Structure 1
């Protein structure tokens, strides 16, 4: 995220180093002073990347039976491995991608990773066996995690806290709604082509086109990196080595490039275990995200053309099974729209009221917590959707009822996801990408586990009791936004990564 607000261009310190900064508060080079067109072009490109990766994560779930038939698989768990390992890769990638984006800038990470994402999807399309497919899916997930993991930091680079809610809502549809889109289109592609490999080929084509467009249209947004480039340019043109940026001046430089990379990779892990804010938000999003992927993997069971594992089914034709993801998809759209309309308004309203009641200094110190009331609403919606699904997921109830439950769940999930992402950016500013990486790795690991055990869970407990168990888990963590509203400022001081809100 952009580290500091624009101020003076060059200052001379006591050590005679020339500190390079922005050319005043209106410096057009600062990402927050860019034109709306330039900002939203960046938002659009990272949103496309953040949508295609989750699409790829689920697009093979709808063809799991086709993969099983192609490779001669007969057990419950192995056909889910390509999806589960992709989600695991989603979690492993941000551990090094997000901190490296703070070291080398966002743009190079986006371009390199999405190029690799394209290549690994091609490898998936030509995989000779389930082992190769699973390994390539793991690597594809790691490469594709750049968009979902550092996009929040990129938006924070370009928008102030009062204005970033709408952009965050637009972007956040991808990491969650993209999985539903993948489920919907996957069924039709499979039916039209008759071969699951075309699912990977189409993802590779879409990713390749996006990569090419990004080369020409995606701009660097990370303020400390831009200032380092500015200082390097001044050193080159003037020959004076005293020019440096704030991040260069305050950094403790390790002895080797390897140490630099290792240090930046370790930051996200350290934040996860030393910052209560990171830990709590990571646990919460892990639970919600895990349930989402369990839902995505098991929906084809409920709506499949034949009953599997002794579970009841609505017996939809194979080409229509993917439409069962529309409930989650429409819920994600609804959550994004509600957040786009009300998240900024809620934040500004809470902040204005706090200023009038406590003064500007105290209000500013609590600024990130003004996201929590909106998040609390979403947190209450999530278990309500799961309860509807649990009580209606059976053939004697019309199929629209469980899809409504899925839509309600997805609406609440996206509201909470957007609030968590924005809260982490508000709280950690400079290290926002690392903080979001900590959240991403936690949610992806649990998402992998849930995706892997989903079929087995419902086979043993059935749709009703299996989903009721998930509902109870969600109810346990539902009050967390209220807790953070009151204790967040104190908790953010622990760990030493907050930018001093």
Structure 2
């Protein structure tokens, strides 16, 4: 549903839901499940916790591997220059080619993921990425370097968008912050922690063995996905062919109690309970849980127009919440690409003159900062919005999460300035490392909160929205490797990072107008949103 209403008949814009309620039978406030699950145990929202955790664990592993493949090469630059005879310009070009592959890949593959299911896209992505990493461990020429960069970018393209689709499939509103914390934790581990390990291995065994290790891990991950990752695309009974696992039976008092959430921690909304009064007969549909073979299906097609799915992102881009998230994530990833590349360049030169292992160790500070940022933007965000909803007559607004951004917006800007200035002055490596930690705290928090706000606001257009986010993120980041060295030479390292810090603060403060006028924007654009959702679901 594009819009909902509460028990008082008040119309809600997209994203606004009843999140908490008072349960008289036990005189206690309870979470109201949103979106409302059906009675079908095959709907991912109804899955037991262990099945959701299994899927998210595999998603965590995939995200970790994808971002490792995107970020790890900068650690090897010293050795690759000698071994392959390539220059820093060649390596920068390869990094840009990789990001170009990611930007273009999401435009092409995500519509297919919407139409045919998440599982085949994940399997294809991991298989191709594993193949490209095996090739990377053997590459010898600059041409191979560029081709591998493009292929690995294309294969990793679906990660950001498809993971948000999976989170929307599996989790309720009050759980999505924590789910995105898991995702961003994997992003940061792949960006900062695994390069540390790869640098240590490269220092003793060479960079090719590091790529071989990554290739082995990706191959194992593919096997795990093949046999353990369940399809989360859910087709309700009224969509497509009838569900042959569905039967009917009479409705008894026990069913009514369970439907109304009797005694449970989380209850269904007043809307769901009221619907029981409108049921014309005392019969309800019951379902048979899918078999293992059905859960591991390789194909889940539906009747959406594939052509419309390719065009919709061009129309979704005009929704301000989509633009906000795109800009925020593009900025934080652009700074990430810049910081990781500068670590490789700065700390391999005097006065630091770190080895490959030492360059890898410099990513530890940002990783530690991100651990705290992940907790701040994830579980704390979920906790805060539940309390804010209770103070707002039990009504949840997606913009409630934005209140938390006052801290990370400042720490990210300050951390970037601290990193650049202290490194430029040749200060002890702990100071730029602390700066990197402050930056990473802000990056993790801002990214998680921005993603979750968009997911909460426009759940029915999550795929199209995150195609836009992924394209912006990679299109902007693609320019960073080209601009890095000229910018550094023309301004100097300190002035460069002071400029970046000020720009980061300016972009980060865009959350303020969205916090003030976000709900009003959703109300005014609700008809447009509903038209886009209807167009997406139109058959043929």
Shorter chain as denominator, the TM-score bin is: 0.7 to 0.9
Aligned-partner Cα distance in 1 for 2:246–2:84 = 58
Give deviations 1:299-324, integer Å, cap 9, x for gaps: 022211x34xxxxx412233322101
3-state SS of the aligned residue for 2:353? coil
**Counterparts of 2:304 and 2:208, CA distance in 1:** 41
Quote the residue 2:428 is aligned against.
398
Tell me, yes or no, if structure 1 residue 288 matches structure 2 residue 332: yes
Q: Answer yes or no: is 1:34 the counterpart of 2:47.
A: yes
For residue 454 of structure 1, the aligned residue among 461, 481, 484 is 484
- TM-score normalised by L of structure 1: 0.82
Q: Compute the displacement of 1:185 (Å).
A: 2.0
Aligned CA distance change for structure 1 residues 445 and 23 (closer, same or farther; 3 Å)? closer
2:285 match: none
Alignment of 1:244-283 (within 5 A): 260-272=305-317, 274-283=318-327
> Please, what TM-score do these two structures have when normalized by structure 2?
0.76
Residue equivalent to 2:259? none
Is the CA contact (8 Å cut-off) linking 1:177 and 1:333 kept in structure 2? Answer: no
Quote the offset at 1:465 in angstroms.
0.9
Assess if the C-alpha contact under 8 Å between 2:160 and 2:466 holds in 1. Answer: no
Q: Which range moves more in the overlay, 417-426 or 91-100?
A: 91-100
Larger radius of gyration: 2
Unmatched 5+ stretches in structure 1: 6-21, 238-256, 308-312
Match for 1:220 among 231, 241, 244?
231
CA-to-aligned-CA distance 1:392-417 (integer Å, 9 cap, x gap): 22354221011000001001110010
User: 2:159: which partner in 1?
Assistant: 147
Contact conserved, 1:180 with 1:325, CA < 8 A, in 2? yes
Q: Quick one: distance in 2 between partners of 1:141 and 1:276?
A: 28
Residue ranges of structure 2 left out of the alignment (5+ in a row): 5-34, 248-301, 534-540
The residue number in structure 2 matching 1:494 is: 525
* Counterpart secondary structure, 1:60: helix
Number of aligned residue pairs: give it: 446
How far 1:261 sits from its partner (Å)? 3.3
User: Where do 1:83-482 residues align within 5 Å?
Assistant: 83-194=95-206, 196-223=207-234, 225=235, 227=237, 231=241, 233-234=243-244, 260-272=305-317, 274-304=318-348, 306-307=349-350, 313-355=351-393, 363-364=395-396, 367-394=397-424, 396-482=426-512
Change in 2 beyond 3 A, CA 1:459/1:288: same
DSSP-derived class of the 1:389 partner:
helix
Aligned residue for 2:81?
68
Distance (whole Å) between structure 2 residues aligned to residue 344 and residue 370 of structure 1: 10
Quick one: distance in 2 between partners of 1:321 and 1:89? Answer: 26
Partners of 1:148 and 1:175 within 8 A in 2: no
8 Å contact 1:99–1:268 — kept in the other structure? no
- CA deviation vs aligned residue, 1:175-233 (integer Å, no higher than 9, x gap): 23311124212211211222x3333322221111111101111111123x465887355
SS in 1 for 2:479: helix
Partner Cα distance (1:440, 1:461) in 2: 30
Shift of residue 49, structure 1, vs aligned partner: 0.6
- Assess if the C-alpha contact under 8 Å between 1:77 and 1:456 holds in 2: no
Contact 1:290 1:451 in 2 (8 A): no
Q: What is the deviation of 1:143?
A: 0.7
1:3-62 Cα deviation digits (max 9, x unpaired): 999xxxxxxxxxxxxxxxx99834311111111100111111111111111111111111
**Cα offset for 1:268?**
2.4
Contact 1:389–1:403 (Cα < 8 Å) also in 2: yes
Post-superposition Cα deviations, 1:395-443, rounded to whole Å, max 9, x if no partner, equal 5422101100000100111001001111111111122122112111111
Query: In the aligned structure 2, how far is the partner of 1:477 from the partner of 1:348?
Result: 27
